[in-house]
């Protein structure tokens, strides 16, 4: 093809203005590589077009430069991480800005509102959760207090029924004359049917931790072990002792912890005869 | 106080490729007006033109590595980015919808968007559009459709109801007249 003809065919203008088809572009670029004069003609048209465009420039709004450069700046900071991903998204977001702007603004308002509500509800939740925990704790405390009372009541009831029982022999055991503690007093409730022995401590001094009181039944002048016991603070509680089929009297001595086979008569506290 | 450097085209391209922000500032100061002018001539709306100009600069920043100086001047390359972005914008759905609404509310029966544009004399008097005024009517419409609307020759033949060969000849003649005018 004649180069001069090619130059004046309009292809240069068509190429520069972006009106050439892809095939025409490829061909034109090849022609430019082969014929410097085509390239020169292209340069000349580009330059005259550029001059015309520059002399017809319209100043964009002043605020735009800062906005654009803020964008470019954040682009620059992101470019190492996901450049390829960004290239895909070049056109759509900007084009759609007209109405998307309002959607974006609305969604930000919604997000803020939702965040505030979330915070509010979370605070409320925490407050009620704490209150609920407190209530559960109170309830547990009351339930256990109630149980303690119930147990006590049952103790009292069974004590009372035992005292009321006509088959029950009551043996009062006051302090022996010149005993270790003159205020000592205990009571044995002896079931004459079952021969079970229950001991109530009315008043006995608290022994040291290495010692324990021991109840003895005096059978035909001989002491028979009826068991050791601790002194409870609750004076109304009964301690079930060993079963004693026959006895004329009961006595309590202070022995070493666990009890002794024979009583230490020097530590005799109380004594009561069966009437 | 920064001293803004001046660049020749090779220096500018080299600096742009290193993503040097100062060179983009220089680019903006020297070329944004010319690009904005073309964008406005296509989208015909100030707000949209702002959005498109922003998009164009981001694209220049992102695509500068692919710019090949042997295929044309930097300005030509940027101008084509601006033109493509502008045409994409006027072809987007949201733009088409807003145009439709405008036409309805104005209650004006406009068959061709070309006659619509003559309503905007300030746009007609700038840049390439002013140059178009010097062209014959039949040439003018074709350049309008091809350059400002981005239609292919085949599409133009269909729209105007003239043979494809005629479209090509007229566009070529129009472009050659344009070259004479720009000389």
pLDDT for the residue numbered A90: 46
Distance of alpha carbon A247 from alpha carbon A194, whole angstroms: 14
Q: A22-34 and A36-55 helices cross at what angle (nearest 10)?
A: 120
Distance of alpha carbon A147 from alpha carbon A141, whole angstroms: 10
Q: Which fold has domain A168-273?
A: Immunoglobulin-like (2.60.40)
Domain extents for chain A?
1-62, 92-164, 168-273
Distance of alpha carbon A175 from alpha carbon A252, whole angstroms: 10
Give the dihedral sign, CA A162/A164/A168/A169.
Answer: positive
Mean pLDDT per block of 10 residues along chain A (275 residues) reads 85 90 91 92 91 88 89 71 45 59 87 90 90 92 92 84 85 90 90 89 88 93 91 72 92 92 91 89
CB B85 within 8 A of CB B39: yes
Out of A16, A18, A58, the one facing B126 most closely (by C-beta) is: A58
Structural class in CATH, domain B113-182: mainly alpha
List % helix, strand, coil for chain A (3-state, nearest 5). Answer: 55, 20, 25
Model-level pTM? 0.52
pLDDT for the residue numbered A152: 85
Backbone torsion region of residue B64, taken as left when φ is above 0, otherwise alpha when ψ lies between -120 and 50, otherwise beta: alpha
Maximum CA extent, chain A = 154
pLDDT for the residue numbered B101: 60
Which residues of chain B are under the pLDDT cut of 70?
1-5, 93-95, 98-127
CA angle, residues A59, A65, A68, in degrees to nearest 5 = 130
Question: How far does B133 lie from chain A, in Å, by closest CA?
Answer: 15
pLDDT for the residue numbered B111: 42
Average pLDDT, chain A: 86
Listed residue (B77, B109, B10) closest to A42, CA to CA = B77
Distance of alpha carbon A234 from alpha carbon A185, whole angstroms: 14
B99 touches chain A (CB under 8 A): no
Distance of alpha carbon A8 from alpha carbon A100, whole angstroms: 47
Listed residue (A271, A259, A269) closest to A214, CA to CA = A259
Statement: B9-91 belongs to CATH 1.10.10.10? no
pLDDT for the residue numbered A41: 92
Using CA coordinates, name the residue in chain B closest to A20: B152
CB contacts under 8 A, A 19-38 vs B, are: 19, 21, 29, 32-33
Using CA coordinates, name the residue in chain A closest to B17: A76
| ipTM, 2 dp | 0.81
Contacts of B94 in chain A (CB under 8 A): 95-96, 98-99
Contacts of A13 in chain B (CB under 8 A): 175-176, 178-179
Domain extents for chain B?
9-91, 113-182
């Amino acid at each position: 093809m004649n180069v001069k003809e090619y130059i004046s065919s309009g292809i240069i203008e068509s190429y520069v203005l972006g009106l050439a088809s892809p095939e025409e572009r490829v061909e034109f670029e090849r022609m430019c590589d082969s014929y410097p004069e085509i390239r020169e003609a292209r340069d000349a048209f580009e330059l005259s077009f550029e001059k015309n465009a520059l002399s017809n420039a319209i100043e964009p709004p002043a605020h735009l430069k800062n906005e654009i450069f803020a964008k470019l700046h954040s682009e620059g900071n992101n470019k190492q991480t996901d450049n390829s991903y960004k290239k895909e998204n070049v056109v759509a977001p900007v084009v759609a800005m007209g109405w998307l702007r309002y959607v974006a603004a609305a969604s930000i308002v919604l997000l803020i509102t939702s965040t505030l509500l979330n915070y509010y509800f979370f605070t409320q939740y925490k407050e009620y959760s704490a209150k609920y925990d407190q209530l559960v704790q109170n309830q547990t405390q009351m339930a256990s207090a109630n149980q303690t009372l119930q147990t006590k009541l049952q103790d009292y009831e069974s004590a009372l029924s035992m005292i009321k029982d006509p088959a029950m022999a009551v043996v009062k055991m006051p302090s022996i004359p010149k005993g270790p503690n003159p205020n000592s007093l205990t009571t044995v409730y002896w079931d004459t049917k079952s021969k079970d022995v229950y001991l109530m401590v009315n008043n006995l001094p608290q022994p040291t931790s290495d010692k324990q009181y021991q109840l003895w039944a005096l059978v035909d002048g001989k002491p028979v072990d009826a068991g050791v016991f601790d002194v409870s603070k609750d004076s109304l509680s009964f301690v079930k002792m060993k079963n004693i089929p026959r006895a004329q009297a009961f006595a309590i001595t202070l022995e070493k912890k666990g009890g002794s086979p024979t009583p230490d008569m020097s530590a005799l506290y109380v004594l009561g005869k069966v009437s | 106080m920064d001293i803004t450097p001046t660049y020749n085209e090779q220096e500018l391209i080299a600096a742009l490729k290193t993503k040097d922000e100062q060179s983009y500032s220089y680019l903006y100061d020297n070329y944004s007006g010319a690009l904005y002018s073309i964008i406005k001539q296509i989208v015909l709306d100030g707000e949209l033109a702002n959005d498109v100009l922003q998009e164009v600069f981001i694209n220049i920043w992102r695509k500068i590595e692919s710019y090949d100086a042997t295929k044309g001047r930097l300005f030509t390359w940027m101008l084509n980015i601006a033109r493509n972005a502008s045409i994409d914008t006027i072809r987007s759905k949201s733009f088409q919808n807003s145009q439709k609404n405008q036409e309805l509310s104005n209650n004006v029966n406009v068959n061709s968007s070309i006659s619509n544009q003559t309503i905007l004399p300030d746009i007609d008097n700038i840049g390439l559009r002013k140059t178009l005024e010097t062209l014959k009517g039949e040439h003018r419409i074709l350049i309008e459709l091809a350059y400002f609307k981005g239609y292919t020759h085949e599409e133009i033949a269909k729209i105007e109801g003239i043979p494809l060969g005629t479209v090509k000849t007229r566009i070529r003649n129009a472009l050659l007249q344009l070259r004479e005018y720009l000389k």
